[in-house]
Every structure is written in C-alpha cells, then in structure tokens.
Amino acid sequence: MPFFPFAKSFECKYLCYIWVLNLMWQMIAQIQGRLVEKNPTDVIIDCHGVGYFLNISLYTYSQLPQTENVTLFTQMLVREDAHILYGFSTKQERAVFNLLLSVSGVGASTARTMLSSLTPDQVRDAVVSEDIATIQGVKGIGAKTAQRVILDLKDKIIKLYGTDTHSLGSSNTNRNEALSALETLGFARKIAEKACDAALKDEPLASVEEIIKKAFKHL
C-alpha cells in the first residue's frame, strides 16, 4: 500500500489508497487488445502482455466481433473487498449501466442482469414510456424497484438522449428495418406494414428479429 505521510491512521491511509486507485481506473475509458477468452459473463483481453478480466452483459457478449482484436469501454467499481472491472460494447450501454447504479437498491449485478435481458435501447424506451411490466420482467426486479427505476431515471434519460414519451426512436428504427427485410423477402409493403404493426402491438419494444418472427404469424 502506498505511504501517505499526511494520513495519521491506517483507516485514513486505506481510504487514500482506495481513492487514488479509483482515480487511476476512472482515467481508463476503454481497453483495446486481443481477445484471449470469451464467456457469456466475462472476457479476458490481452493488452500489451497484460490480461484484463472484464465482467460483461449478454448484450455485450452478443456484440463481440469474430476477430481477435476488440475494444470495450470500461467502468471500474471499487469495493472494500474487490475492484471489479466491467466492459461494454458501446458507450451507450455504459451510460445506461451507470444510470441504473444511481438508483437506490440497484447494484452492479442487477444492472448487468437488466442489460443481459434487455438492450440499452429497450431499457431506455421502457423507462421513458413507464413500461413497468418490461422492467419487472427482468429477473430480480420487483414492482417497487421497477417503479423506482422509472421515477429516478426518466428525467435523466430524457435529458441525456433528448427523447420523450411520444418519440421512441429505436422502436421506429426496428420497425423500419423489419419492414425492409420483409419486403426483401417478397412481401407487399402494405401487407408487411400491417404484420409489423400487429407484431409491435403485442410487444412495442421488440427487436428487429422479434418483430420479423411475430410478423410471420400475421402474414
């Protein structure tokens, strides 16, 4: 442990050590290197001979490229018993992760579970549209916690992303991509539009793949 001459007690020195270590890690915004190990919950990235162990969500896992070289945006959490490094495929996912951590009762494990069950866009849209059912559908999230997430984060997300309850951009984008895919498969636009709308009626925050699957049931 580094020596801090101004610290009079061991506890004070320990707190200074944690503060300096946390400050150092906050300066590391991303890690780029060779992917040497990949698991659904964690990865190891070799950066100039040093292997960094990063906890990840299933969303980040699904976004990892097939190539060896990867770049992940990082967030370090310092606890009394551990220093835990998290990696994210996008800055948006990291931002949503940190927003979730600001909610009372939501820890890193719960935040990662939420980003493993929902995409960052789906979390954003569920909060803005006050969709308690979607948030509560995440394992470990009860009704009270879901309500607290919406109450604490709605204004922050609107301010951060410049969106509102009448403008859920990702849903429209997913609909357009699904519609384009159905047209490519040979379905008439009007028929495809009705099928996509019916699919979104069942699940407003569905991904492109989910919209297409549900749309086939209405074609």
Query: Which of 8-12, 25-29, 155-159 has the highest mean predicted lDDT (pLDDT)?
Result: 155-159
The residue length of the chain stands at 219
- For 160-218, what is each residue's pLDDT tens digit? 776 554 445 555 678 888 888 888 888 888 888 888 878 877 676 778 888 888 888 88
Angle of the 208-216 helix axis to the 169-184 helix axis, nearest 10: 50
Which of 188, 65, 73, 66 shows the shortest CA–CA distance to 120?
73
Residue 31 Cα to chain centre, angstroms = 17
Residue 21, CB-side half-sphere exposure with 13 Å CA sphere:
17
Regarding the domain delimited by 10-88, which CATH topology (the fold level of the hierarchy) does it fall under? OB fold (Dihydrolipoamide Acetyltransferase, E2P) (2.40.50)
pLDDT, tens digit (0-9, with 9 covering 90-100), for 128-153: 888 899 999 998 899 999 999 999 99
| 125 CB-contact burial (10 Å; exposed 0-12 / middle 13-18 / buried 19+) | buried
Domain boundaries, the chain: 10-88, 91-161, 169-216
pLDDT at 28: 75
Domain 169-216 fold is Helicase, Ruva Protein; domain 3 (1.10.8)
More confident residue, 34 or 81: 34
Q: What is the separation of C-alpha 49 from the centre of its chain, rounded to a whole number of angstroms?
A: 28
Would you tell me which CATH number, out of the four given (1.10.150.20, 2.60.260.20, 3.40.50.720, 1.10.10.10), belongs to the domain 91-161? Answer: 1.10.150.20
Give the pLDDT score at 1.
45
Q: What is the pLDDT of residues 81-133, one digit of tens each?
A: 777 899 999 998 999 999 999 999 899 999 999 999 998 888 988 898 888 99
**Cβ atoms < 10 Å from Cβ of 66:** 5
pTM of the predicted structure, to 2 decimals: 0.66
Handedness of CA 21, 24, 27, 28 (dihedral sign): negative
Q: In which region does residue 173 sit, left (phi positive, over 0), alpha (psi from -120 to 50) or beta (all else)?
A: alpha
pLDDT of amino acid 163: 55
d(CA 117, CA 144): 19
